[in-house]
Structure 1
Amino acid sequence: MTTCIYDTAWLAMVTKEEEGQIRWLFPDSFKAILESQSLDGGFGSRTSDVDAIMNTMAALLALSKHGHNPSVAGCPPVANLQERIAQGGAFLQNVLLSWDILSTDHVGFEILIPCLIDLLYNDGVDVRAFPGYENLIRLNQRKLARFRPEMLYMPRQTTLLHSLEAFSGKINFDAVAHHLTGGAMLNSPSSTAAYLINSSKWDAEAEAYLRYVAEKGRGLVPSAFPITLFEISWCLSTLLESGFTVQQLGEKPIQQLSDFVVKNLKENGGVCGFAPGVLPDADDTAKCIFLLNCIGQRTDCDRMIEVFEDKSHFKTYDLEVTDSFSANCNVLKAMLVAEDAARHLPQICKVLRYLCQIWHDGQLNDKWNLRPQYSMMLLTEALVHVLKRWDQGDLNEIPVELMAEQGILSVLSDILDGLLRTQSLEDGGWGGSAEVTGYALLALKRLASLPWSLECGDKVDLAIDLATVYLQTREGEWTTPQENWIEKVSYGSRLLSLTYAVAAL
């Protein structure tokens, strides 16, 4: 996972008293923030408006804290600090003026940005005057309508632990210490840093976690670490589904990795999160189940269904406000590779209705990936799986309306048309990205396996050939991460970029 200024800025605000003197604990993080400021005043990457806003807000807060605390040792003074803050504030105001809040899906933004606005205001930086402020506050109130501080003090984990910085000054941070796993708060550097900043007692385990993550990036940190189950399940399942065999990937490493996945599923009663000890979610659980079934280790979906099934779809987490299109695609795929898929027919039909309706409503905005080609790829894979199981006689009782005009065949036809229309005429790729082209090419190859695609077979074959050449001639870009993925801010992954490029060929 690529590093980000947002989380790095929270580390830059951590202080520790050592030998009677208070020191900034992560001077390299503060240096990284300064080096990330652009000539226009903004900080860090800006793949989307919310990235520019959150990176810049957190950086401004860190600069302001350093400016207001000159007696704290560990970082050399910055001569033009106030000028940098003024430039960052001006940049931020310009972005906020045009920010489309209602189309933003990044993790926890509706609780994080209001908190940052308040913290900046308390530090003398007022950025509240922008058109979407009232909409933002309404989203914040909706998100926290059922929130009580006591929810964080209980033994059970909640997704809010990943964003404890949003509750600075609002909760008793000493009362959440029991949630530390490996020194981290739900594997979030910024949340863990906020815990250290706000706790009355120093936590050596949390410090060790942050030091380890910061040293790996020379002060820069990602939005989540570690993410082992996510990386294993996404990469291996993608390669295996695309046609790679266990023998090609290596029987011994596959066995070791699958044992790790099985161990985590068993320890959590059949569900898992993106890493050991992290709150389980439907997305990672589904990917792990799918992976194990791909390598012949029969794994059922019963617990996944029990924990995550909702009225009209599957929820990724408890108390989520925005549902996930891609997570439901992965849940559907997991149920389809189960040994007795027909046993889950009610749930399969439920997810099919949800996915087809979202598609026809034109609401293909996923909460975990910015690129529509990713959702199109997953939806294609899931629907082609349904057709194959139906053709084998396993799912004969799927209602006709889910197969015909507004159902599977209609959606697949739309996806094919959309992919062919959006392919670049100049280079044969999508989005100028090897990873995104990998998404699209994987979808096209699935679509090409269907008999009805023969009507436009020549166009499909040409599109596949052009996309293949695009990837083959850009092998050097396969491990260049692009920020297609969504966390608190957008991020990229060398592993995922390489996986999708290789799997597509």
Structure 2
Amino acid sequence: MNATEWDDEAEAYLQMVCQQQSATGHKGGFPSAFPSTIFETSWVLDTLLESGFDKDDFLLADVRSLTKLLEKNLTQGKGTVGWGDIGAETAGLGEGGGADAGSLRGRSILHQIVKCANFLVKTWMRNNGPDKWHTSVQYPMMLIAQTFLLLLKRWAKNELDSTAVPKSLMYQEVPRTLLDILGRTMRSQRDDGSWESKREVTAYAVLTLAPLLSLPWVDFLKPEGIACMYRGKAYLENSRHQWRIAESVWIEKTVYGSPNLSQAYSLAALKVVVPTMFVSAKISDMFPPQLMKKMIKMSGFFAQVVPFSRAPQWKLQLSLFQSASYAATLKASRYDIFPPMQKASDEKYQEYIPFTWIGCRDYLSTPISSQTLWEMMLVSMFNFQVDAYMETAVWEQYGDKLPELKALIRTICSNKPEKRKRSDDDDSKVVSKKLANGTGTHTMNGTGRSTRNSVKRCHEHEHSNGEPVRGNGESVQANGVSGVSSNVEGVLTKFVNFALHHPKVLASPEPLRRWLAHELQTFLLAHITHMEDCKALSLSADLSTGSVTWSKPRTTFFNWVRTTSADHTSCPYSFVFFLCLIGEGGSALTMNLHQRYALEDACRHLAAMCRQYNDLGSIVRDQAEKNLNSVNFPEFDMGETDVAATMEELTDRKKRDLLAVAEYERRCLGRVIGELEPSLDAGVMEKLRLFIQVTDLYGQIYVVRDIGIRRVEGERERI
């Protein structure tokens, strides 16, 4: 169609093909791959051979005929026709096996292999959905799984130059992608044993599971994984009579099906078994025994937490394993904005954050990119850190000049850089800060550059001599501290820039950006109000007597919960940030007045519920730290009182009352979501339910275990 001159001979050929095909009942189909003579032939043979068939499974005459056809075309094309070098391996059919690939060490092709692998992991992070050639995501998942298993095998056998293959690719990104594909495949099987109720897609899934279940890290999954395979094989066996009826799963100018490919993949799926993989220390060490034990311990904890108390154990453990690689990368990002805080212990929550997003996504089967989950993991970590930072470093510097602090926050959140101190004024400053484990030197960078690097780090984390390296080139010191300043204005500026200058935020509609800036400013100002309230509580109540009542609160419990308390949770601003992430340039989030109003209402109920569950689990810590808790309001002393009740009994009664109020907020949230569901885009609605589930999960975790950052005096306290 784009030829500069019309080719009459080509037109005549196409007309002839169309006429011949029409005579046999086929209309409209033309081959689009060159050379069409061996395109499907090489594809079918390669699929069958890879699944375990060999030359003895074919008639000798057919083997000779196919071998001659392939050898002729490969010779003419110098080995680059059909499937390229894979075709050369298939041509070895008549010679007793595939060609020996040999060692790739030192070859220029290794650079291209690494380049392709990096492209695949990054693309999967950003958009783990179907590709443009196929209607089902299971097809690219099968290809990625087969490709990365082959890469791991060659790497484990030292057939690749290890100095040319990034450690982060092999130890983090490839395993993370493979575990994601494994979990997604197993979770998406239907009750009848099929995937998507399609024979060919079911065959892809079986061919995906077989190599993945050979990995040494997933032994705990093998019984359930093999059972999935057998259910899929049974579905294919029962529909054998329909294999020639190709389903429309391929995409060209139209959607079409291939009877040859349908049969080939179905045969391959019935033939394939879980292979015995070459297991080396390099592969086993990706998930060392101590990490495996830790995952098992964490699965025991989360099995007590709603909603995972209702989930099968294998699903819970698989989600935890997927979270492990994110946890390592998240730990490397923990000082990108906030410096280490001497008066706060802050390790425990970092172990939980990746699972809260991965686990909830898996539990709800939410279609969302891994990149979006990673961004929200960073947000979750920064929210824990900013809470501790405001209550320690900020309070120490601005405790007696709060109006100045409020003005600073409003300026930073105004999103008008000209009103701020030039960020590069601080770039060359070196600020010494005494740390809990010694003295470190840090440079200030208020541009937010390192936070953008933390976003990239999930799939671009390089190593030099085995040592992690920051995105800006700074080596991490032995104490885990990189170039971070203790300057409050610079730190808060970087925190605000992370949200307001995020590419997805900048691509969102202006009303959404304004909403985010407002909620972020309100969030930071709420910390100041909260600190003022805590100070007022300590002045008006005896904190040493156990159950404490704020005798003269500045407002009612209801008003506090809906304003300062809710804002202080970070839920409202994180909610709007999440809306920016899940929109494609804002197009998916065009909302009318009713939707916007209902979304804000839902967010307020969610934030209130989140705070109340948090307070329910942190009463002891809050009292020890002189921190305002919901149960300190006088409303919790209303009603009948038993003068003979012990302090423990009074506290238990207040907990029951607080839980009742939290469940009231849950019911209100449910009603608002029900109001939104008919009018909001279904994809957006699915993702909103994920955000709600994650937020609710933190509340459920606090009921079982307090994971908040503790302020400590003297020695560092571990939770």
Give the TM-score, by structure 1 length. Answer: 0.48
Q: Which has the larger radius of gyration?
A: 2
Question: Could you say which structure has the greater relative contact order, defined with CA pairs below 8 angstroms and 6 or more residues apart?
Answer: 1
